[in-house]
Amino acid sequence: MTSRPAPQTFRFDRQLWDRFIAIAQPFFLPITPGSTWLFAGLLLVLMVTVVAATFWITVGLTLLGQTLFPAFFTNLAGGLVETINGLLASPVAYLAAAALVGSGSIFVLLRKRLRRRERQWLMLGILLFLSFAVNGLNVAISYVFRFIDNALNGKDSDTFYQFLAVYTAIIVGAIPIIIAYTYIRRKLGLIWREWLTKDYLDRYFSDRAYYKLDSNTLDTEIDNPDQRITADITSFTGTTLVFILDILDSILTLISFTLVLYTISKALTLGLVGYAFMGTAVAVVAGGKLIAINYNQLRLEADFRYGMVHVRDNSESIAFYRGETLERQQILDRLGRAIQNFDLLIIWESIIMLFQRGYNYFTRIVPYLIVAPLYFAGQMDFGAIGQAYLAFFQVLGALSIVTNQIQDISAFGASINRLGALDERLQPVDGAGRDRSPAPTPQGDRSGIVTQVESHVALDNLTLQTPNAEQTLIQGLSLALQFQDQLLVVGPSGCGKSSLLRAIAGLWTTGDGTITRPDSGEMLFLPQRPYMLLGTLRDQLIYPNPRNSIPEANILEALQQVNLVHLPDRLGGLDVERDWPTVLSLGEQQRLAFARILLTQPRYVILDEATSALDVANERNLYDLLQQRELLYISVGHRPSLLAYHQTVLELSTATTWRLLSAADYRFNLENLDSLEGLES
């Protein structure tokens, strides 16, 4: 994955929001037209449910407290009991009851549309409730300290100790609530990560998206999909929950403490709101710059890591070439680009921090400036100063959530863009909670080859181009193969032999004409360098069949037929895991790949120089095995020895022309050419 220019237009805009919804919503509600409004509505209904439930729990606890500690509640918390009784006698009680029943019914009615997403809604509801509870406790603590300060000021030791006891009781109740809140939030993040990763993986492996996204083939815009599916999803799910809950929490804090602050000083409240909005506006503008830098950082870090993985995967070749100096330099270059961008990141973060610190420190004196004159004039009790101070900073904190977290929000925005771009490229898979049409891929725009699935192979007036349509490889090719036919494709290097096989397999579709071929499940493709998956020897042999689908006796028989019977003994059995591309020679890997044909028993086989590393005796053995089976096979190869195992030869040239002739005629031409060359020399 080479370095490529990154898109530079990252802002807090509509596209970022749409991408966020496209990634975040399906975990809670399948995406269908108009469903985002429903999602927002459901979040509101959830909040209403939680507020109503909190109301009834507060009523219950106050009444219980009054029964258990009548003296305390009558003398010192009389205001609370009065308020509760007042609320119970007012329409608020009916509203709270109706809200609870109504919102509960909405969730029951929508159960079908939620499609087994009840668990996440329940956890979100519990989190909201716990967040409410912590907020309620904070308000209670602000009053407790006001009473403590006043008791100190009035030298009233009884009240002082009673409120210290109340404070202790509140803290004992609050600690488990805070721990439960953190645990449930992280657990929900984990469940979400698993869900979202599975969803991306389903789509990544459907319709060969992993191949189309590969930067070596078509869609170079999506760099490092591996990093997007691993690191970006993890940070997305964790951060989204923190932000959503922080924002909801800020709204609550804002409502509860603005009320407290407003009762103390109206001027202070209004001034504060204006100040915080100004701070947020400045932060949003500066944050837009940070999103672009963070986006680049994620890409450059992934490129750097990929460079290291590439060396690990190719260690033997590098060791043969003694290519350490160049490899080291390439990796250092990648590191250099990551460091350079990070340098820019810390410069911008420092500029933003300068603004944040100024913003936060300057505001410290504001409440004193406004409240102290009221106290000196005797219009306010002493305890109210502390309470105003506390309320002021709670409200400021809530209003400044964007200002204070702009670095995190920008990093989050970059993750959203990376995941969103990948999301738009991947096809939706049934049941994954998406109902959008995928964005057309570059390949989709250009593909012109029509594929028909039938039980034979035929090419009709086929013109084949490379995926980027830069090069035309073959023009006007027509041929038809019947079951059990054997075709050999020959031609000079780079003329398009492998590309023709790619087109038949359906990997390349740029060009014109028609390809008729069987369903890809009936075909097996053997490339020159066999693919060795991560796993045991057994896994290698049965690939691509599911585990345990082939009896051991068949596996051992296949090994014997391809001359690898000694392999399990040499390596420690069928179930040993090794780094197969390094422990097996290329010839052994090619024979192992042939064993896959014997075990999978496809009806159509495509071999791209699949025996190039074998001696003639082993090659003959393998082709004999193919000929004993009822199947159609197409080979690509340069060796004349292959002619013996094919009836027809397709000869391609670098000038996009082609010839179809019998193997006998081709051999005859070849021999004549050889004798002519012999005469000339």
Site string for ligand ATP, 497-536 (x = CB under 6 A): xxx-------------------------------------
Residue whose tokens read 């503008």: 285
CB of 192 to ligand ATP, least distance (A): 36
CB of 187 to ligand ATP, least distance (A): 44
CB of 217 to ligand ATP, least distance (A): 5
Own/partner long-range contacts of 358-362 (Cβ < 8 Å, ≥24 apart): 359/279, 359/400, 359/403, 360/400, 360/404
Site string for ligand ATP, 472-501 (x = CB under 6 A): -x-------------------xxxxxxx--
Q: Based on the shown chain and the rule CB under 6 A, indicate whether residue 58 belongs to the binding site for ligand ATP.
A: no
Site string for ligand ATP, 448-467 (x = CB under 6 A): ------------------xx
Beta carbon nearer to ligand ATP, 31 or 500:
500
Site string for ligand ATP, 586-625 (x = CB under 6 A): ----------------------------------------
Does residue 373 have a cis peptide bond before it, meaning omega lies within 30 degrees of 0? no
Q: Which of 596, 534, 543, 588 is nearest to 566 (CA)?
A: 588
Ranges within 217-256 binding ligand ATP (CB under 6 A): 217
Beta carbon nearer to ligand ATP, 153 or 654:
654
Please say whether the beta carbons of 293 and 341 come within 8 A: yes
Q: In what order do the strands lie in the sheet with 486-490?
A: 523-526, 604-608, 632-636, 486-490, 648-652, 658-662
Strands 604-608 and 632-636 come out as: parallel
Task: Give the C-alpha separation, 489 to 501, whole Å.
Answer: 9
Non-local (6+) Cβ contacts of 132 within 8 A are 50, 51, 54, 252
Task: Give the C-alpha separation, 157 to 151, whole Å.
Answer: 7
Report the half-sphere exposure of 170 (CA within 13 A, side-chain side): 19
DSSP 3-state of 127? helix
Please say whether the beta carbons of 594 and 625 come within 8 A: yes
Beta carbon nearer to ligand ATP, 356 or 499:
499
Ranges within 179-218 binding ligand ATP (CB under 6 A): 216-217
Count of residues that bind ligand ATP according to CB under 6 A: 14
CB of 320 to ligand ATP, least distance (A): 21
Beta carbon nearer to ligand ATP, 495 or 642:
495
Q: Which of 222, 219, 212, 204 is nearest to 7 (CA)?
A: 222
CB of 441 to ligand ATP, least distance (A): 15
CB of 499 to ligand ATP, least distance (A): 3
**For residue 11, what are the CA distances in angstroms to 8, 14, 71, 338, 452?**
9, 9, 59, 22, 45
Q: Give residue 146's identity as a one-letter amino acid code.
A: R
CB of 634 to ligand ATP, least distance (A): 13
Q: Give residue 497's identity as a one-letter amino acid code.
A: K
Beta carbon nearer to ligand ATP, 2 or 468:
468
CB of 471 to ligand ATP, least distance (A): 6
Task: Give the C-alpha separation, 316 to 540, whole Å.
Answer: 21
Beta carbon nearer to ligand ATP, 225 or 496:
496
DSSP 3-state of 536? strand
CB of 223 to ligand ATP, least distance (A): 16
Determine the interface stretch with ligand ATP among 163-171, 192-200, 442-450, 468-476 (rule: CB under 6 A): 468-476
CB of 511 to ligand ATP, least distance (A): 12
Beta carbon nearer to ligand ATP, 432 or 636:
636
Task: Give the C-alpha separation, 204 to 198, whole Å.
Answer: 10
- Residues contributing to the site for ligand ATP (CB under 6 A): 216-217, 466-468, 471, 473, 493-499
